[in-house]
């Protein structure tokens, strides 16, 4: 075929900002764009991202597409629309890769594409381009771990408030029951070359506006062996990240298992203008962390110490907690809201334990009909119900219940909504502290208090979600597919 243009499609993610935080550019699409350009500069490569309002216009000769689990049904609809126009479709990404482990599910879902990429797609781009031109696409391309030998210089425009993505590393050795990062990227840390990271940050400095910040893509600042050289290089070569940066990280980089504060890391983070660190606290009860979630790295008694240490360096402590249908009760949720507030965690995301395909949790539920932590089947609980409607796999819906569950699915969702609605307190105080610190020129301290006030007003409905989305994305229309 004549390959003149590739459309790389990101389907609409839920309700965009109103559910999932500030928008950042499609980093994976940028990687593929630069690889295609190296292979054949004559091929036009467009990124069509529905979350920011792009219209799917079917102009490309071929569609590349990727998605997480919860928007994948939308991706499949778009893929079918391209194929109905006689245009080949290649699908990859984390959901498409993880579903390969379940042949009966994959057999049905893979019907939506002409070719499937399983694993890290960078390693098969050259083969894909050659096979597309020759008209000989294979049904499945097996990717493998690969390190890009170039900086990923995002070319998509940055609107006010949007974040610029940089990836420091891939992989994670922890193996939590609910996490698919090890399944996709491996169970060891794979650090990207520091010189590429520096070039990407310099490019961000060149293209950013006054309200843009940088985000280190999940899962990133976790490896104690590599985090110091990266931050030291940023400080030595660039001084700081303009506008500030934020990242997910491991609590043990801030407070270790013995309760010791890591001032070296916090000082480097502060010196390079880190304004927020995101921690997967997951729960305050050790029995839930180890017995249901398989989380071995967290020590709840040190959460308050972690928050104070971050605040001392002008860094916001942003957390997340999981409500498990095995154990969550109304009393427990009320307790955790009060406990986290007392610990001074600035902002908290609340989710329902969701068995994403490719995780140990999904494997046990889907293959065995039971749920247990690690390899200990002695405490196994039977699964009474598992919903395979991927559009509900956004961590906001209940998609499974254990045998003997105390509540109906809707009530766990009400618990999550209640916690989200009631978590941020003292909003007037937060707003005043934000203004006070801004006047004093303490921008990161002002941002910490301002974000808490903003999120509290949003969660209470004072700031309507539609208004917030309009501010970040402009007027967006959900385009129907012809």
Q: What is the pLDDT of residues 52-93, one digit of tens each?
A: 889 999 999 999 999 999 999 999 999 999 999 999 999 999
Question: Is residue 450 situated within a structural domain?
Answer: yes
Question: Is residue 48 situated within a structural domain?
Answer: yes
Question: Is residue 154 situated within a structural domain?
Answer: no
**What is the CATH number for 410?**
3.80.30.20
Check whether residue 193 and residue 330 sit in a common domain.
yes
Check whether residue 106 and residue 198 sit in a common domain.
no
Q: Please give the tally of structural domains in the chain.
A: 3
Check whether residue 414 and residue 433 sit in a common domain.
no
Check whether residue 207 and residue 307 sit in a common domain.
yes
Among candidate residues 108, 142, 176, the one where a domain is terminated: 142
Helix (H, G, I), strand (E, B) or coil at 379: helix
Question: Is residue 155 situated within a structural domain?
Answer: no
Instruction: Please give the mean pLDDT across all residues of the chain.
Output: 93
SS3 content of the chain, % helix, strand, coil (to 5): 45, 20, 40
Check whether residue 264 and residue 132 sit in a common domain.
no
Please give the model's pTM, rounded to 2 decimal places: 0.95
Sheet with 400-402: list strands edge to edge: 370-371, 381-386, 400-402
Those residues whose C-beta lies under 8 Å from the C-beta of residue 189, and which sit 6 or more positions away, are 169, 170, 171, 172, 173, 222, 223, 225, 226
> In a 10 Å sphere around its CB, with 0-12 CB exposed, 13-18 middle and 19+ buried, how is residue 482 labelled?
exposed
The pLDDT of residue 17 = 47
Among candidate residues 113, 142, 171, the one where a domain is terminated: 142
Question: Is residue 158 situated within a structural domain?
Answer: no
CA 23 – CA 51 distance, rounded (Å): 8
Q: Give first-to-last CA distance, the chain, whole Å.
A: 24
Check whether residue 336 and residue 365 sit in a common domain.
yes
Check whether residue 416 and residue 449 sit in a common domain.
no
Q: Please give the residue range of the domain that contains residue 311.
A: 163-423
**Do 469 and 15 meet the contact criterion of CB atoms below 8 Å apart?**
yes
pLDDT-derived band at 18, boundaries 50, 70, 90: very low
Among candidate residues 385, 407, 423, the one where a domain is terminated: 423
Check whether residue 186 and residue 320 sit in a common domain.
yes
Q: For residues 346 and 191, which has the higher predicted lDDT (pLDDT)?
A: 346
Question: Is residue 356 situated within a structural domain?
Answer: yes
Question: Is residue 9 situated within a structural domain?
Answer: yes
Q: What is the pLDDT of residues 264-307, one digit of tens each?
A: 999 999 999 999 999 999 999 999 999 999 999 999 999 999 99
The pLDDT of residue 146 = 87
Check whether residue 17 and residue 131 sit in a common domain.
yes
Question: Is residue 108 situated within a structural domain?
Answer: yes
Q: What is the pLDDT of residues 110-140, one digit of tens each?
A: 999 999 999 999 999 999 999 999 999 999 9
Check whether residue 329 and residue 360 sit in a common domain.
yes
Q: What is the pLDDT of residues 403-418, one digit of tens each?
A: 999 999 999 999 999 9
Check whether residue 436 and residue 410 sit in a common domain.
no
CA 293 – CA 320 distance, rounded (Å): 13
Check whether residue 270 and residue 348 sit in a common domain.
yes
**What is the CATH number for 25?**
3.40.50.280
């Amino acid at each position: 075929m004549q390959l003149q243009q590739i459309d790389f499609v990101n389907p609409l993610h839920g309700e965009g900002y109103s559910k999932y935080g500030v928008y950042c550019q499609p980093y994976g699409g940028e990687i593929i764009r630069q690889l295609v350009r190296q292979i054949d500069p004559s091929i036009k490569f467009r990124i069509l991202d529905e979350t920011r309002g792009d219209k799917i216009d079917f102009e490309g000769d071929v569609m590349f597409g990727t998605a997480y689990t919860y928007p994948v049904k939308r991706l499949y609809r778009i893929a079918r629309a391209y194929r109905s126009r006689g245009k080949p479709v290649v699908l990859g990404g984390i959901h498409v890769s993880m579903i390969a482990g379940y042949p009966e599910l994959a057999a049905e879902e893979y019907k939506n594409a002409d070719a499937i990429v399983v694993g890290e797609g960078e390693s098969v781009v050259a083969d894909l381009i050659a096979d597309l031109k020759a008209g000989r696409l294979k049904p499945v391309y097996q990717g493998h771990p690969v390190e890009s030998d170039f900086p990923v210089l995002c070319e998509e425009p940055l609107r006010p408030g949007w974040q610029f993505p940089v990836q420091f590393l891939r992989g994670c050795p922890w193996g939590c029951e609910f996490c698919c990062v090890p399944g996709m990227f491996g169970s060891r840390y794979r650090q990207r070359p520091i010189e590429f990271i520096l070039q990407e940050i310099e490019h961000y400095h060149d293209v950013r506006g006054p309200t843009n910040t940088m985000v280190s893509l999940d899962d990133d600042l976790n490896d104690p062996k590599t985090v110091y050289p990266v931050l030291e290089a940023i400080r030595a070569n660039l001084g700081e990240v303009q506008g500030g940066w934020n990242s997910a990280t491991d609590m043990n980089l801030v407070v270790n298992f013995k309760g010791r504060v890591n001032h070296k890391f916090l000082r480097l983070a502060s010196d390079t203008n880190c304004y927020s660190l995101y921690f997967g606290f997951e729960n305050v009860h050790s029995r839930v962390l180890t017995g249901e979630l398989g989380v071995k790295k967290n020590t709840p008694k040190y959460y308050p110490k972690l928050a104070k240490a971050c605040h001392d360096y002008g860094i916001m402590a942003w957390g997340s907690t999981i409500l498990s249908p095995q154990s969550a009760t109304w009393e427990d949720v009320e307790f955790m809201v009060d406990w986290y507030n007392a610990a001074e965690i600035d902002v908290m995301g609340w989710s329902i334990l969701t068995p994403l395909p490719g995780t140990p949790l999904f494997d046990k539920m889907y293959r065995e009909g039971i749920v247990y932590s690690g390899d200990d089947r002695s405490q196994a609980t039977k699964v009474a119900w598992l919903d395979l409607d991927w559009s509900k796999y956004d961590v906001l819906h209940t998609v499974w219940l254990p045998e003997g569950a105390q509540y109906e699915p809707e009530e766990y969702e009400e618990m999550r909504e209640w916690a989200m609605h009631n978590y941020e307190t003292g909003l007037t105080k937060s707003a005043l502290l934000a203004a006070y610190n801004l006047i004093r020129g303490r921008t990161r301290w002002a941002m910490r208090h301002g974000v808490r006030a903003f999120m509290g007003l949003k969660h209470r409905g004072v700031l309507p979600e539609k208004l917030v989305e309009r501010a970040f994305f402009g007027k967006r229309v959900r385009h129907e597919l012809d």
